[in-house]
Structure 1
Amino acid sequence: MPYANFVNNLVSKLRVENVIFREFFAEFIGTFLLVLIGNGSVAQVVLSGMKHGDFFTVNMAYALAVAFGVMVSGGISGGHINPAVTLAMALAGKCSWVKVPVFWAAQYIGAFVASAVLYGVYKDALTAFAPEPYTIQTAGIWATYPQEFLSLGNALFDQIIGTFLLLIIVMAITDPRNMEVSKGLYPLYVGLTVGAVGMAFGFNCGYAINPARDLAPRVFTAIAGWGGQVFSAGNGFFWVPIVGPHIGAILGVLAYGLTIGYHFGDDEYVVTQTKGKFFD
């Protein structure tokens, strides 16, 4: 069986034993899937003039993209696929601070690579869409932009609330002392949560609720031909989907703890998350 031996030898050489590297790759591929599928649905809607999808299909695609991203990465890294989630988990003592910069790097790089792949897939469609395709309308395929009426303060509140809701529900889903949700259902419920947030709060500025999902694609568009307008648009809106989700995630974890998590009795307490994962 020379072929089988060759494959086995190749696999053994490719296998990564270092836990940090394995978790980096997991967060990278999970975020890659999230951004590629989620933003791919936006590209289809925009470039087809809404003939192939609408706001509802975008929300459904993002819900599934999150579910798939968490499903693929969850057993290794916990499936954060969101820098704001990683920060909140670290503050809650459920993720080692050493892993925070590693996870952040993986998430931002994964989102950037997914943006480049998406551009390659839809490059011809983008060119056919308009004589001058590099407008804020098409930039919105990759990153979020506010409605014209929206103030920066209102946009910031929007992002805080969206991520606040996400983290409250994520904490409940992953708390074994609460409803004892099966681990196999975690990705589905997290994805449905993102879809629900989008359908409730997607109008103002696109419910990024994830700094990596927004900033890395925005940087890609700046490099790929859209230029500095991607940072100046919306009265300099770009910082809102970075700052807002971090604040909202921290408040969400705190709110869950103050209303639910801190009040279980000692007999109900179960030691979990010892490796900084959702799924330990």
Structure 2
Amino acid sequence: MATWKELELDPMSKVHRETLSSASHDCGCGSLCLTGKHETAIHHINPEVESPDTRPLLWFKVREYCRDGFSEFFGTMILILFGDGVVAQVLLSHGQKGDYQSISWGWGLGVMLGVYASGASGGHINPAVTFANCVLRGFPWRKFPVYALAQILGAMCGSAIVYGNYKSAINVYEGGPDIRTVPGYSTTATGGIFCTYPAEFMTKEGQFFSEFLASAILMFMIFALKDDGNLGAGPLMPLALFFVIFGIGACFGWETGYAINLARDFGPRLTSYIIGYGHEVWAAGDYYFWVRFI
């Protein structure tokens, strides 16, 4: 918890000026925290609503306790809107409105904008990032379930919005409004818009290693970019992550779809199951979905 170095109250303007010392400030956001080392926050106080003699309103309490969860929810939703959206556009247009590199660009932009949108909570937007911060950076374990749940729900919401936007095009591509298929079961499958499916030639060992390699590269680069003893990315961390995700997609994405994010894959997979893609979303690739959990 940050230590207040200075607290001034101007009774004429009703303004609190709070300065956090760089030595004592610890936001607990982990490796992706976008907060600077020295901040000055100015809060305008309405004396009729909030004063030292009155308790905070319920809304302020709710906002304080739910801020991290909502931040991760919306950040992950933004990630999926751009990521699943670009896959849908490329697939449903039969490649006329983009190609494989367009998908790499879309996912890179989704991560960058998602981190910007969720900066208040540290911009994790990935249960693996939250878990790694709990293990290696002292991030509170009590926050892990909240972050993970918010990320999965945000991914579900984002994929549902993409489905609603492209539903008519999906109907045409699949051959009817009641036809929903996944890769490996149809040549006109659209299930791959929402979650990843391995190439048919991939063995179970190959599936695991491909995802492990891509995920390891992601986590290594996150900690390297955030290491103050290294060159670091500083305030350009989201932009740096754009290039990391683009590079992973361009170089290691073909075989398994480079989910590298449990929320990004499980949330939309659950959504696709709910909207009618059937049990094949779990059975495809010899029950490939469980590889994401490992």
Q: Contact 2:75 / 2:115 at 8 angstroms: preserved in 1?
A: yes
Give the match for residue 84 of structure 2: 39
Give the match for residue 86 of structure 1: 130
What one-letter code is carried by the residue in structure 1 that aligns with 2:273?
Answer: A
Aligned ranges for residues 136-155 of structure 1 at < 5 Å?
136=182, 137-155=189-207
After superposition, the C-alpha distances for 1:250-272 in whole angstroms (9 at most, x for unaligned) are xxxxxxxxxxxxxxxxxxxxxxx
SS at match of 1:79: coil
Q: Contact 1:210 / 1:242 at 8 angstroms: preserved in 2?
A: no
CA distance in 2: counterparts of 1:155 and 1:114, whole angstroms: 26
Match for residue 100 of structure 2 among 55, 73, 76: 55
Q: Contact 2:233 / 2:240 at 8 angstroms: preserved in 1?
A: no
Give the match for residue 135 of structure 1: 181
State yes or no: 1:216 paired with 2:283: no
Match for residue 140 of structure 2 among 83, 96, 111: 96
Aligned ranges for residues 108-119 of structure 1 at < 5 Å?
108-119=152-163
What one-letter code is carried by the residue in structure 1 that aligns with 2:205?
Answer: G
Match for residue 284 of structure 2 among 211, 233, 240: 233
Give the match for residue 247 of structure 2: 196
Q: CA deviation at 1:175?
A: 1.2
Q: Scaled by the length of structure 2, what TM-score is found?
A: 0.75
Match for residue 121 of structure 1 among 165, 171, 192: 165
Q: Scaled by the length of structure 1, what TM-score is found?
A: 0.79
What one-letter code is carried by the residue in structure 2 that aligns with 1:125?
Answer: A
Q: CA deviation at 1:152?
A: 1.2
Q: CA deviation at 1:181?
A: 2.6
State yes or no: 1:174 paired with 2:226: yes
CA distance in 2: counterparts of 1:155 and 1:128, whole angstroms: 31
Q: CA deviation at 1:197?
A: 0.7
Instruction: Name the larger-Rg structure.
Output: 2
Q: Contact 2:108 / 2:242 at 8 angstroms: preserved in 1?
A: yes
Mark the CA change 1:145 to 1:180 in structure 2 (over 3 Å): closer, same or farther: closer
Q: CA deviation at 1:195?
A: 1.1
Q: Contact 1:32 / 1:111 at 8 angstroms: preserved in 2?
A: yes
Q: What are the ranges of 5 or more consecutive residues in structure 2 without an aligned counterpart?
A: 1-48, 50-56, 183-188
Mark the CA change 1:16 to 1:195 in structure 2 (over 3 Å): closer, same or farther: farther
After superposition, the C-alpha distances for 1:185-228 in whole angstroms (9 at most, x for unaligned) are 01011121111111111110100000000011111111101110
Q: Contact 1:41 / 1:57 at 8 angstroms: preserved in 2?
A: yes
CA distance in 2: counterparts of 1:177 and 1:77, whole angstroms: 23
What's the C-alpha RMSD, in Å, of the aligned pairs?
A: 1.8
After superposition, the C-alpha distances for 1:94-119 in whole angstroms (9 at most, x for unaligned) are 41101100100100000001111111
Q: CA deviation at 1:128?
A: 1.5
CA distance in 2: counterparts of 1:208 and 1:16, whole angstroms: 36
Q: CA deviation at 1:52?
A: 0.8
Match for residue 237 of structure 2 among 172, 186, 193: 186
After superposition, the C-alpha distances for 1:71-94 in whole angstroms (9 at most, x for unaligned) are 1112x1110100111111110034
CA distance in 1: counterparts of 2:62 and 2:168, whole angstroms: 41
Poorly superposed stretches of 4+, deviation over 3 Å:
12-20
After superposition, the C-alpha distances for 1:16-45 in whole angstroms (9 at most, x for unaligned) are 665441111110000000011100000001
Higher relative contact order (CA 8 A, sep 6+): 1
Percent identity for Structure 1 against Structure 2? 39
Q: Contact 1:20 / 1:99 at 8 angstroms: preserved in 2?
A: no
Aligned length: 232
Match for residue 28 of structure 1 among 70, 73, 78: 73
After superposition, the C-alpha distances for 1:37-67 in whole angstroms (9 at most, x for unaligned) are 1000000011111111111000001001000
